[in-house]
Structure 1
Amino acid sequence: MENQARESKFELSVLGALGIMGSTIFYVFIIFAGLLIFLFPIGLIIGEFTPVSFEKLKEIANLLSEPIFKIILIVVAVKKAKKISDNNFRISYLGKLNYKLLLSVILLMIGYYFWYQSSIGVVTNKIPLPEFLEEVFKDMELHPYPAIFSIAIIAPIYEEIFMRGIILAGLLNRYSPKKAIIISALIFGISHFNIVQSVNATLIGLILGMIYYKTNSLILCIAVHMTNNIFAMIMGVAKEYMGYSPNIISFLAGVIIFIGSAMLFFRYLRELGENLGW
Structure 2
Amino acid sequence: MSKTKEFLKIIGSLVLLIILTALVGVFLGLAGFNPNTSGAGIIVVLLSQLVFGVCTYLIIKKKNLYINDRGILKDSWKMIIIGLGTAGFGNILLSQVVMALGEDNALVKNSYDMLNTAFGTTNTFETVIQILVLVIVAPIVEEYLFRGYVFAECKKMFSLPASLILNGLLFGLFHMNLLQGINTFFLAIVLSLIYYHRANIKDNIIVHMSNNAVAVLPAFFPKALTVISAITIISIIFGLYFLVKICREKSA
- What TM bracket, shorter-length normalisation? 0.7 to 0.9
CA contact (8 A) 1:96 1:217 kept: yes
CA contact (8 A) 2:114 2:177 kept: no
CA RMSD for the aligned pairs? 3.7
Equivalent residue number for residue 59 of structure 2: 77
1:61 to partner: Cα distance: 6.9
Distance 1:252 1:204, change over 3 A: closer
Equivalent residue number for residue 15 of structure 2: 22
Gaps of 5+ in 1: 1-9, 44-54, 83-88
In 1, Cα distance between equivalents of 2:211 and 2:84: 7
Equivalent residue number for residue 78 of structure 2: 104
In 2, Cα distance between equivalents of 1:245 and 1:235: 10
1:92 equivalent among 36, 42, 67 = 67
User: Which sits farther off after the overlay, 15-24 or 125-134?
Assistant: 125-134
Matched, 1:259 2:243: no
CA contact (8 A) 1:24 1:76 kept: no
Distance 1:250 1:135, change over 3 A: same
- What amino acid does structure 1 have at the position aligned with 2:234? A
State the TM-score, normalized to the length of structure 1: 0.69
Matched, 1:165 2:148: yes
- What amino acid does structure 1 have at the position aligned with 2:191? L
1:245 to partner: Cα distance: 8.3
CA contact (8 A) 1:115 1:250 kept: no
Equivalent residue number for residue 89 of structure 2: 115
Could you say which structure has the larger radius of gyration? Answer: 1
CA contact (8 A) 2:42 2:118 kept: no
1:266 to partner: Cα distance: 4.4
CA contact (8 A) 1:96 1:215 kept: no
Distance 1:12 1:233, change over 3 A: farther
Matched, 1:124 2:97: yes
In 2, Cα distance between equivalents of 1:59 and 1:194: 15
Equivalent residue number for residue 199 of structure 1: 182
CA contact (8 A) 1:25 1:73 kept: no
Alignment of 1:1-278 (within 5 A): 13-26=6-19, 32=24, 40=31, 65-66=47-48, 68-78=50-60, 82=63, 89-95=64-70, 98-100=73-75, 102-117=76-91, 119-125=92-98, 126=103, 127-130=108-111, 131-138=113-120, 140-142=121-123, 143-235=126-218, 237-238=220-221, 240-242=222-224, 244=226, 253-266=234-247, 270=249, 274=250, 276=251
CA contact (8 A) 1:184 1:209 kept: yes
Per-residue displacement from partner, 1:137-178 (whole Å, max 9, x unpaired)? 33x344211111111111111111111111111101100111
Per-residue displacement from partner, 1:62-112 (whole Å, max 9, x unpaired)? 697456423332234335x52xxxxxx223141486221x12222112123
1:14 to partner: Cα distance: 3.8
CA contact (8 A) 2:164 2:192 kept: yes
In 2, Cα distance between equivalents of 1:112 and 1:34: 34
State the TM-score, normalized to the length of structure 2: 0.75
